[in-house]
Amino acid sequence: MATVLVLITTADGAPDKVALQALALGSQLAAGGAVHALVLGDDAVAAGLGAWGATNVHLARHPALDVPAPDAAARILDDLAGSLGAQFVVGPGTEEGNTILARSAARAGLPFAANCVSVTAGSPVAVTRSRWGGSLLEEAVINADRAVLTVAAHVIEAVESGGSASVTPFTPQLDDADLAVRVVGRVPAPAGGVSLTDAKVVVAGGRGAGSAEGFAPIVELASLLGAAVGCSRAVTIAGWRPHTEQVGQTGTKIAPDLYIAAGISGATQHLAGTKGAKRILAINKDPEAPIMTAADYAVIGDLAEVLPAISAEIRRRRGA
């Protein structure tokens, strides 16, 4: 048995999905031991974590936590791990999770393993990590009394157990140095539509769309399917679609039931963001495009012809 501490990051008053996946990994590593969860200032989230495997929830309350402050979060995580004698500190392999866990490990003078796809307890702890945008799996060991790591998104399933956990509020000790880096403003994403992170279906376009106007059949099909609209990095660079719609290593990692990629060649960085998709339909004029190797289904053709045909058939079957 082991003592495990898991960082729970939140979004819109709910636990981040990848944080719940980290909690699932934490439960596996604990092997019947205590699974502690750290929540930064969100009372509503703390109350429900017992159902996802936490045995103890620590709720940090401090005025400075009203906005993201990674160094403050790292100090709180490191201090709590030390007081609990945790053998594992686990977090979500997201931008926020990796930022905080890396800082926490640095404070403690410990190695940090990011984006793990599997972890085997032992002495030393063995990990397999996703590297180079998912194109490489690295096997490594962590030689430390405390293993600090994050779990790659969508490689471990989070399952509700129906359990309960005690919630212990506390006020962390912070100083000015911990608050040197803070979020002081946000630019909200465009309102409306389906979120990429939550969508069951994503319809995305790439350079093959040809222009901003060329995205019309992509948007039309997404609307018919109740899907989210996505795009490749080349599209955002060209200014055809906003960065909030970018799928990939430097965009959003998705896990839909179906991913429709139209006019996307499938660079390594893009495919790294689609590994959680259950099924991939690729539509491309080039049968040798890299995305074809990842696709479950493929249509060789021009998206400007294929997508309107799909939309027309959907309307016909719906009697519209």
pLDDT confidence of residue 185: 78
pLDDT confidence of residue 155: 87
pLDDT confidence of residue 190: 61
pLDDT confidence of residue 103: 96
What CATH number has the domain spanning 4-179?
A: 3.40.50.620
What is the value of pTM for the model shown? 0.71
Give dist(CA 161, CA 27) in Å, integer. 11
The token pair at 60 is 């940090």
Per the CB < 8 A criterion, the answer to whether 203 and 231 are in contact is: no
pLDDT confidence of residue 133: 64
The token pair at 163 is 């359990």
pLDDT confidence of residue 251: 87
pLDDT confidence of residue 135: 66
pLDDT confidence of residue 134: 64
Where along the chain do its domains lie? 4-179, 201-318
Regions of the chain short of the pLDDT cut 70: 133-135, 188-193, 320
Domains 4-179 and 201-318 share a fold: yes
pLDDT confidence of residue 319: 82
Per the CB < 8 A criterion, the answer to whether 211 and 240 are in contact is: yes
Exposure letters 234-255 (e unless 16+ CB within 10 A, then b): bbbeeebbeebbbbbbebbbbb
- DSSP assignment of 93-162, as one string? SSHHHHHHHHHHHHHHT--EEEEEEEEE-SSSEEEEEEEGGGTEEEEEEE-SSSEEEEEPTTSS------
CATH class of 201-318: alpha beta
pLDDT confidence of residue 160: 87
Which are the contacts of 154, defined by CB distance < 8 A and separation ≥ 6? 18, 21, 253, 255, 275, 276
Per the CB < 8 A criterion, the answer to whether 120 and 36 are in contact is: no
Per the CB < 8 A criterion, the answer to whether 234 and 215 are in contact is: no
pLDDT confidence of residue 130: 84
pLDDT confidence of residue 88: 97
Length of the chain counted residue by residue: 320
- DSSP assignment of 19-49, as one string? HHHHHHHHHHHHTTS-EEEEEES-HHHHHTG
- The secondary structure element, H or E, covering residue 310 is helix 303-318
pLDDT confidence of residue 311: 96
Coil, strand or helix at 252: strand
Coil, strand or helix at 202: strand
In the sheet where 112-120 sits, what is the strand order?
A: 136-142, 125-131, 112-120, 147-151, 88-92, 4-8, 35-40, 56-60, 166-170
